[in-house]
Structure 1
Amino acid sequence: FDDTPSDSFYTTTQYMGAFDTSLWNSDWSWLADRLPEDDSTPTIPPITGAEVCGDITEDTVWQTTITMVCQVFVQSGVVLTINSGTTIFAESTSIDDSGAPALIILPGATILAQGTATRPITFTTTSDSSTLPARGLWGGLIVMGNAPVYQGTQEVEGITGQTYGGNDATESSGTLEYVRVWHGGSVIGENNEINGITLAGVGSGTTVRYCEVAFNLDDGFEMFGGTVNLKYISVLFVGDD
């Protein structure tokens, strides 16, 4: 047994257990404004930004506030950049009956969502704050790639007709840093809900760290094959894993 792993994935610490005395998510987690004595809801800006729906076919930047009114698909070869401090709202049902609004990064597409501890990127519901916290109010964030998976390719959970997987183990689908996904996990069929953050066939060139899923009806994070590594992950009050 090697009690000092040499793998560079691991971070050397001066403490034992999951957390240091200075908690890495203390400034931006859903819990930040809730514990120990403050029972208020974390501050979310008003819904004022553009509505989005359908395919994104050219490089796009999201900033301030955005509202997803149906499922949004970032097409192969396209880069979606989400600026720090942006809040992405989602309706509970799609205007085109396509299923719960969700952001889907297709294989070959790139998401650059780089928040900070003081300006995280938040995905949440348009539902009135008086009804929160609650689960299953919209879909979730799905990132699909071309990294190896069982049996070559698979259809992604929660979205109809979209496949992932390939042979590019080091592929990059972009970056998720300081990203919060709250109140998602809409049911689309029996035993078929959308996870908070789905990573399907995502390659090791992708960065996923300092991310949180809270109040999702299904899993917080779920990986389907792929080679991506995750660090500094928080899962709160989800209905499954």
Structure 2
Amino acid sequence: MKKFRFLFSLTLILGLFFTACDEDDPIVAFDKPVVSAPSNVATIPFGSTDQSVDFTVSIDSDLTANYTASGTNVSVLNASGSVSGNSITINYSAGSSAGAASITLTVTDSEGQTDDATAVISIDQPEFEVKVTSNITQNTTWTSDKVYILGGRITVVNGVTLTIEPGTIIKGEAGTGANATALLVARGGTLMAEGTADAPIIFTSVADEISIEDVAAGNFGSPNLDPDINGLWGGVIVLGKAPISASNESGDVSEIQIEGIPTSDQNGLYGGNEPGDNSGVLKYISIRHGGTNIGSGNEINGLSLGGVGSGTVIENIEVVANQDDGIEWFGGTVNVKNVLVWNVGDDGIDTDQSWNGTLDNFIVVAPTGHAFELDGPEGSMEAGHVIQNGTIVATVGDRISQDLINVDNNSIVDLKNLFFTGISEGQKINRVTAAGVTFEGIEIDVTAEELPNHVNGDVPAGVTAGTGTKKADASVFGWTWAGKSGALTGL
């Protein structure tokens, strides 16, 4: 019996052994990939293009693997490939802004197992770039060998002068609402920004790649942004102590907060009783790609002038592709000459609160709002202004102005020697009965038979069909981006 039991057990054991040999091989566990990033990547220069970072990789020797790489504030040049060896070199270029950057490497083996690691990179502030993040509280000069980056709403405060050299570039960072970037000259502050035709001062967006070298070479247009891209930053705001016509629920007020600046910021107040107030000098300045939204559908103008006095000199100004108006006056007494407004998203020229000055020699090309938005006084103080010697191109391609001249019943303005061309159906002088509005030498580039279709009411004696005997002197705008691009050909 014992012998039988032994033989049975032996037979069973051998049967299990041979049965196991016939089954599939057992599952083999492969090691997961391991990716390590360097912890001490050297700071790289801004704008550098020949950079690399080495990651350490470990994969099971029986497997193959591939990698993908992605970057933040850098451009990765070899974003994918196969793993060979124990390291992977990722080549990259610095991003468009100084500060933190990173590269994340992900390795996936042939079993579908993954691991990743991130290398943190620091991009150095370029030597030629100056980030401005606080108000100008002492006399300061911005020089043409540097590019100044507005990191927010930067104010030249009362009693302080900011001087900007010819050829200087100022770029605004992106931001909306209370974070909108702008250069604000408060009442009592002074801006001495005297560019020249050969070296204009350019305000633009950080997205604009225009450089110091471009300006020095006479290339004043953006190398990468089209001249109709708007809303990328804020704009330029100058405030003064000259009279304004404003009111609130209690009656007349002599000062008020400029639109878009929180009431908590007293630097936003403008108006007063000093008609000859002096906020400085603005000459040969180009303001581009601005007009970011500051709340409730309200955008910053290219150039806003609030209560600016007649002691201020403003001439040879270009506004390109602003999301809101080109230039808007809120009262004040300042005179302005040689203005070019091109491709703005709202009104070309906007006046409010009884501005009491003169706009002389100007061109407005293809605004998509009104060519002119000329409002009357908002308080009991009544004063008027003169707008003269201008050429207005009301339509270019699919950019069509809403109308030619828009005034209120109480507007006070003398319009002299203006030529409107590029006329489309429906574009009109919207009101010719306002007692304070006069028309003299207004020519509209249509036939005499068509003229009544472009006036809302009877055609005044000062409005005629014409071909441009009254218009701006376009020769003074050769320095502008519009002039150099050919947008003023024939004007």
The answer to whether residue 300 in structure 2 is matched with residue 194 in structure 1 is yes
Q: Kindly tell me the number of residue pairs found equivalent between the two proteins.
A: 194
Counterpart of 1:49 (choices 124, 129, 133) is 129
| Distance in 2 separating the partners of 1:209 and 1:83 | 16
Q: Look up the match of 1:77.
A: 159
Q: What is the identity, as a one-letter code, of the residue corresponding to 1:86?
A: T
Q: Look up the match of 2:324.
A: 218
The answer to whether residue 195 in structure 2 is matched with residue 115 in structure 1 is yes
Q: Look up the match of 2:175.
A: 93
The within-5 A match list for 1:1-20 is none
Q: CA offset at residue 131 of structure 1?
A: 4.9
Q: TM-score, normalised by structure 2?
A: 0.38
Q: TM-score, normalised by structure 1?
A: 0.77
| Distance in 1 separating the partners of 2:136 and 2:207 | 25
Q: What is the identity, as a one-letter code, of the residue corresponding to 2:155?
A: F
| Unmatched segments (≥5 aa) in structure 2 | 1-125, 210-223, 246-252, 348-491
Q: Look up the match of 1:203.
A: 309
The answer to whether residue 221 in structure 2 is matched with residue 139 in structure 1 is no
Q: Secondary structure at the match of 2:134?
A: strand
Q: CA offset at residue 132 of structure 1?
A: 3.7
Q: Look up the match of 2:204.
A: 124
| Distance in 2 separating the partners of 1:98 and 1:82 | 25
The structure having more radius of gyration, on CA atoms, is 2
| Distance in 2 separating the partners of 1:188 and 1:86 | 26
| Distance in 2 separating the partners of 1:78 and 1:152 | 23
Q: What is the identity, as a one-letter code, of the residue corresponding to 1:117?
A: A
Q: CA offset at residue 149 of structure 1?
A: 0.7
* Larger RCO, structures 1/2 (Cα 8 Å, 6+ apart): 1
| Contact in 2 for aligned 1:213/1:234 (Cα 8 Å) | yes
| Distance in 2 separating the partners of 1:166 and 1:47 | 42
The answer to whether residue 285 in structure 2 is matched with residue 179 in structure 1 is yes
| Contact in 2 for aligned 1:47/1:89 (Cα 8 Å) | no
Q: Secondary structure at the match of 1:54?
A: coil
Q: What is the identity, as a one-letter code, of the residue corresponding to 2:239?
A: M
| Distance in 2 separating the partners of 1:159 and 1:132 | 29
| Contact in 1 for aligned 2:175/2:292 (Cα 8 Å) | no
Counterpart of 2:258 (choices 156, 166, 172) is 156
Q: CA offset at residue 189 of structure 1?
A: 1.1
The answer to whether residue 340 in structure 2 is matched with residue 234 in structure 1 is yes
Q: CA offset at residue 76 of structure 1?
A: 0.2
Q: CA offset at residue 190 of structure 1?
A: 1.7
Rate the CA distance shift 1:57–1:232 in 2: closer, same or farther, 3 A.
same
Q: Look up the match of 1:58.
A: 138
Dislocated runs of 4+, deviation >3 Å: 128-133
| Distance in 1 separating the partners of 2:318 and 2:189 | 22
Q: What is the identity, as a one-letter code, of the residue corresponding to 1:55?
A: N
Q: What is the identity, as a one-letter code, of the residue corresponding to 2:323?
A: L
Q: What is the identity, as a one-letter code, of the residue corresponding to 2:206?
A: T
Deviations along 1:140-159, one digit per CA (max 9) or x if unpaired, are 00000000011311110122
Hey, which of these two has a bigger chunk of helix by percent? 2
| Contact in 2 for aligned 1:165/1:226 (Cα 8 Å) | yes
Larger mean CA deviation between 124-133 and 57-66 belongs to 124-133
| Distance in 1 separating the partners of 2:190 and 2:197 | 22
The answer to whether residue 274 in structure 2 is matched with residue 168 in structure 1 is yes
Q: What is the identity, as a one-letter code, of the residue corresponding to 2:326?
A: G
| Contact in 2 for aligned 1:47/1:67 (Cα 8 Å) | no
| Distance in 2 separating the partners of 1:127 and 1:135 | 11
Rate the CA distance shift 1:222–1:187 in 2: closer, same or farther, 3 A.
same
| Distance in 2 separating the partners of 1:182 and 1:100 | 15
| Contact in 2 for aligned 1:69/1:93 (Cα 8 Å) | no
RMSD: 1.7
Q: Secondary structure at the match of 2:151?
A: strand
Q: CA offset at residue 48 of structure 1?
A: 3.3
Q: Look up the match of 2:149.
A: 67
Rate the CA distance shift 1:117–1:53 in 2: closer, same or farther, 3 A.
same
What percentage of residue pairs aligned between the two structures are identical?
A: 45
| Distance in 2 separating the partners of 1:240 and 1:107 | 27
